Structures are given as structure tokens and as C-alpha cells.
């Protein structure tokens, strides 16, 4: 059975207008609602990305974000600690796969990568955790189930080594 579109954005239990063209501080409420890994007829697929950088030497932190497309890399700046999160809602009548690539840059860095998928029908349906860090790239493919409305969260963080500030995260999502 077909699913009526929600959105364009969604937050909590209500639809929101399309996301902002600029991103102030912690950004807007909500996240885009997508048709699986495809474009709507009048709106391209988009996700929400948020980042945070922290310098232990200066005690300063920087936050921000933007929307992104499938197959588009998003990267943080470089500092003592780097955090990057992707989020989007999806609606799908069939299961589909999303492949994520995560790249880290700190010589002696360490961190973690987690993915949580939730649906309105079944709550949290998938929870993934892996360690990342150092100089390298990892990829993983996740299956997002059919749902009238689901929410996907991808978290990545890297902590640089002692007295170093070369932590950085770069990542993208793509159809698989």
C-alpha cells in the first residue's frame, strides 16, 4: 500500500517546512523526510549534518551544520576532538540499503561510530557500534526497513592523541 508523504521536514510529531538555507548555531528543529534513497518529485534527497569541534588546549568549541545529498562528502574541520552526525527521516514501502563511508585523520586518534535506526511502528530497530580512529577509511552498508516513518542517526567522533589537534571526520552516505 502506498504511503502518504510526510514532511518536507519532521520534528517530534509534526511536519515542518523545508530546512533553512543558512545554519545558525545549533541549526533548525527536525530533519528532512526522504522517500527511501530517492528524490521526491519536487525535492531532492537530503540529510541533516551537524558537527562539533573542540580544542582541549584552548577550551574552545565550534558547532554548526548543513544539509547534504547522497554521495556528497561532509567533513569537519581539524581539532583536538571532532564529532559529526547525520540524520534524516525516511518513508519506504520496501527495505533499502544505504552505504556509509567514514574517514578519520588523526595519527594516534581513536573514536567511535554508531548508527541507530528507529521506526514509528517498532521503535529502535537497529543499533550498530564500531570503533574508528587513526588514519583510515571504513565502510559499512545498512539496511533500512520499510516503514511509514523512520529516523536514521549516524554518529561519528574522533579524539586526537595527547596534545595533538589532528582529529577530523569525513563521511558520506550513498545508495547501495
Partner 1 sequence: MATQAELDKEQNRTKSLSGTIGKIDLGGGVYDLNTRPDDNKEGVDERIQNDGIDVITNPLGGGGGGGGGGGGNFELDVVDDDGNAARASFTGGGII
Query: Looking at beta carbons only, is 12 or 41 nearer to partner 1?
Result: 41
Rounded distance between C-alpha atoms, residue 96 and residue 15, angstroms: 24
Is 162 a binding residue for partner 1 by CB under 8 A? The answer is: no
Which residue lies nearer to partner 1 by CB, 139 or 175? 175
Binds partner 1 by CB under 8 A, chosen from 40, 110, 126, 142: 40
Compare residues 22 and 94 and give the one whose CB is closer to partner 1. 94
Q: Among all chains, which residue has been given the C-alpha cell 545498512?
A: 142
Contact call for residue 1 and partner 1 (CB under 8 A): yes
Listed ranges 3-11, 75-83, 105-113, 131-139: which one lies at the site for partner 1 (CB under 8 A): 3-11
- Could you say whether residue 98 binds partner 1 (CB under 8 A)? no
- Which of residues 21, 41, 59, 162 is near partner 1 by CB under 8 A? 41
Contact 168, 77 (CB under 8 A): yes
Task: Give the CA distances from residue 123 to residues 30, 116, 120, 152, in Å, rounded to whole numbers and listed in that order.
Answer: 18, 10, 6, 11
Cβ distance 102 to 77 under 8 Å?
no
Should residue 113 be labelled a site residue for partner 1 when binding is judged by CB under 8 A? Answer: no
| Nearest of 96, 79, 105 to residue 174 by alpha carbon | 96
For residue 107 the three cell numbers come to: 595519527
Determine, following the binding rule CB under 8 A, whether residue 93 of this chain makes contact with partner 1. Answer: yes
Element (H, E) at 50: strand 47-54
Instruction: List residues near partner 1 by CB under 8 A.
Output: 1-5, 35-36, 38-42, 91-94, 96, 146
Amino acid at each position: 500500500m502506498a504511503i502518504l508523504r510526510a514532511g518536507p521536514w519532521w520534528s517530534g510529531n509534526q511536519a515542518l517546512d523545508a530546512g533553512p538555507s543558512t545554519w545558525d548555531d545549533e541549526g533548525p528543529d527536525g530533519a528532512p523526510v526522504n522517500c527511501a534513497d530517492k528524490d521526491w518529485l519536487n525535492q531532492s534527497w537530503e540529510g541533516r549534518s551537524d558537527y562539533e569541534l573542540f580544542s582541549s588546549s584552548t577550551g574552545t568549541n565550534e558547532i554548526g551544520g548543513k544539509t547534504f545529498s547522497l554521495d556528497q562528502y561532509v567533513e569537519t574541520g581539524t581539532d583536538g576532538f571532532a564529532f559529526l552526525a547525520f540524520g534524516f527521516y525516511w518513508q519506504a514501502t520496501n527495505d533499502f540499503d544505504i552505504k556509509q563511508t567514514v574517514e578519520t585523520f588523526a595519527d594516534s586518534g581513536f573514536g567511535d561510530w554508531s548508527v541507530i535506526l528507529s521506526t514509528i511502528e517498532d521503535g529502535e530497530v537497529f543499533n550498530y557500534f564500531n570503533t574508528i580512529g587513526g588514519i583510515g577509511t571504513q565502510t559499512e552498508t545498512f539496511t533500512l526497513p520499510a516503514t511509514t516513518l523512520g529516523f536514521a542517526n549516524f554518529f561519528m567522533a574522533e579524539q586526537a592523541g595527547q596534545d595533538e589537534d589532528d582529529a577530523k571526520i569525513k563521511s558520506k552516505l550513498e545508495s547501495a
